[in-house]
Amino acid sequence: MRISINTDIARPIEHIWEVYVTPKHIDGWNHASEDWETVGSTSDFRVGGFFKYPMRAKDGSFGFDFEGEFLQIEPYKYIKYRLLDDRVVEIKFTQMHPTVHIELIFEGESENSVELQRAGWQQILESFKHYCLAL
């Protein structure tokens, strides 16, 4: 099953792109709630390159590495990657003036409900939006 989420951000596409793909920025926004964090992200941002975003509960109770391989990159427009469990994620960036529309489409997993997955990924995307707007 494919799940879609989206948001609009009133910032230049170049700014949004840099914040989305740069590890130091990923560490600043890649969390679904304030009691989680991402620390030490790495990314070889090119087709065939790999990324790893270590996501952890701030209290140390749980953590996992969100990681995969970049399959397709069209600067300022499109990113496609495959997670280690073979699920594919696509991110589309569309300049709408004065905003950029971001649509993220991902293959769901079988452990959690569609609603829970959609809500979690949407929260991360909203965290990205707030981080972008604060810079």
pTM: 0.94
Q: What percent of the chain has pLDDT over 90?
A: 99
Pick the CATH number of 2-134 from 3.30.930.10, 1.10.10.10, 3.30.530.20, 3.90.110.10: 3.30.530.20
Strands 88-95 and 63-74: unpaired
pLDDT-derived band at 93 (thresholds 50, 70, 90) equals very high
**Per-residue model confidence as pLDDT tens digits over 106-126:** 999 999 999 999 999 999 999
Domain limits of the chain?
2-134
**What pLDDT is attached to residue 14?**
97
pLDDT in tens, 30-60: 999 999 999 999 999 999 999 999 999 999 9
Instruction: Report DSSP letters for 56-87, one per residue.
Output: EETTSS-EEEEEEEEEEEETTTEEEEEETTS-
**DSSP helix/strand/coil, 10:** coil
